[in-house]
Amino acid sequence: MTSTIRFQFTKGQEVRFLSHLDLVRAMERAIRRAGLPMAYSEGFSPRPIMSYSFALPVGVMSEAEYADFRLVEDWDPAYFMEQFNKHLPPGLRVLHAERLPEGTPALMSEINAALWRIRLPQAEQVAVEKRWQELQAVDSFVVERQTKQGSRSVNLRPLLFGVPRIAREGEAVEVHCLAAVGNQGNLRVEELGLLLGFDSAQALITRIGQFKKVGSAYYPPLGNRGCTWTE
């Protein structure tokens, strides 16, 4: 009997500079050590059947990464968490896990919004607030984006959904941003810096939420799946 477990996990300070490929390799090592009964693909080079939400940029941390693992046994999600966490390296930790009902859409087809926490050690709160006020008054902020197909003009403004928090936290200004992520529209972290006037290389950035945005409501891919956020 096969089953799919979806889980939320962290990517902490210890592993913030792992690439997505390195993260997947670390997960696969932990899978083997934990003895997870993974389902495998067919062919000459079988791979464990698993999928992840949209990859993080190198250097960015997360409290809300998601993955789906296909198992050939029906493990209890709590037992899965316990066993897997024993073998994950520091910085990677499963926070919550659930069995998925058959027919649940894939993570990448569900998620289209992310909540980012940005700590700016050298910023002034008033300046960030002013910049956000100015952005709310416009519907266009066009930049040249470099892609594999060459340079193209992109309007970033519709990709920034909201800035629900700007506050002083100790020696830094903390900013929370709701932004588009995914195949239908993706706001890169360096573009967040262009919009809000900060250098992303000098910021400490953490993804703290991923959602399916429907109108003005935001639904998580795990948990009670009820509306978590409303604009």
Domain edges within the chain: 3-101, 110-230
Query: What's the rounded mean pLDDT across residues 50-59?
Result: 94
Distance from C-alpha of 177 to C-alpha of 196, rounded to nearest angstrom: 10
Predicted pLDDT of residue 227: 59
- The beta strand positions in the chain, using DSSP E, are 3-11, 50-52, 61-71, 92-99, 113-120, 142-147, 150-155, 160-169, 172-180, 204-214, 217-219, 229-230
What is the full DSSP assignment across 89-118? PTTEEEEEEEEPPTTPPPHHHH--EEEEEE
Say yes or no to pLDDT of 27 above 90. Answer: yes
Q: CA angle, 155 as apex, 151 and 157 as ends, to 5°?
A: 145
The confidence band for 141, taking pLDDT boundaries of 50, 70 and 90, is very high
Query: What's the rounded mean pLDDT across residues 110-125?
Result: 94
Tell me the Cα Rg of the chain: 19
pTM: 0.93
Q: Which CATH number fits domain 3-101: 3.30.70.580, 3.90.320.10, 2.160.10.10, 3.40.50.2300?
A: 3.30.70.580
Contact assessment for residue 119 and residue 203, using Cβ atoms and an 8 Å cutoff: yes
Predicted pLDDT of residue 83: 96
Distance from C-alpha of 174 to C-alpha of 118, rounded to nearest angstrom: 6
Q: Which two tokens stand for residue 16?
A: 């913030």
pLDDT tens digit sequence for 176-215: 999 999 988 899 999 999 999 998 889 999 999 999 999 8
CB neighbours of residue 168 within 10 Å: 11
Query: What's the rounded mean pLDDT across residues 47-73?
Result: 95
* CATH number 3.30.70 given to 110-230: yes
Predicted pLDDT of residue 20: 95
Q: CA angle, 202 as apex, 201 and 208 as ends, to 5°?
A: 80
Same fold, 3-101 and 110-230: yes
Query: What's the rounded mean pLDDT across residues 90-96?
Result: 97
